[in-house]
């Protein structure tokens, strides 16, 4: 088996294709990560960016706040 290149591995991480890749391709990427600290660092950076986007920029809505908003909207629509 030929290991994927850094460009192939980093592109797969950037596009979120690592977890959905076929098993043999995913194995090749995992082996590449064992020997390539550049791609390990890139993966960590992508994970940090994803976490920051989820927690700071686009946080999941609080269920209590959305319920209160729904009640307010329904009350407003009822008149």
Give contact residues for Zn ion (rule: CB under 5 A).
6, 36, 38-39
- Tokens in use for 33? 């990560």
- Tokens in use for 75? 């009350």
Query: What gap in Å lies between CA 56 and CA 79, rounded to an integer?
Result: 36
Query: What gap in Å lies between CA 78 and CA 54, rounded to an integer?
Result: 35
Q: How far apart are CB 37 and Zn ion at their closest, in Å? A: 8
Q: Which is nearer to Zn ion, 6 or 48 (CB)?
A: 6
Q: How far apart are CB 73 and Zn ion at their closest, in Å? A: 50
Q: Which is nearer to Zn ion, 34 or 73 (CB)?
A: 34
């Amino acid at each position: 088996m030929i290991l994927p290149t850094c460009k192939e591995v980093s592109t797969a991480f950037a596009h979120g294709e690592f977890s959905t890749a076929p098993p043999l391709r995913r194995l090749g990427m995992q082996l590449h990560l064992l020997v390539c600290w550049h791609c390990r660092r890139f993966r960590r950076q992508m994970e940090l960016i994803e976490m920051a986007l989820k927690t700071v920029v686009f946080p999941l809505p609080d269920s209590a706040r959305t319920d209160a908003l729904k009640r307010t909207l329904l009350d407003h629509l009822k008149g």
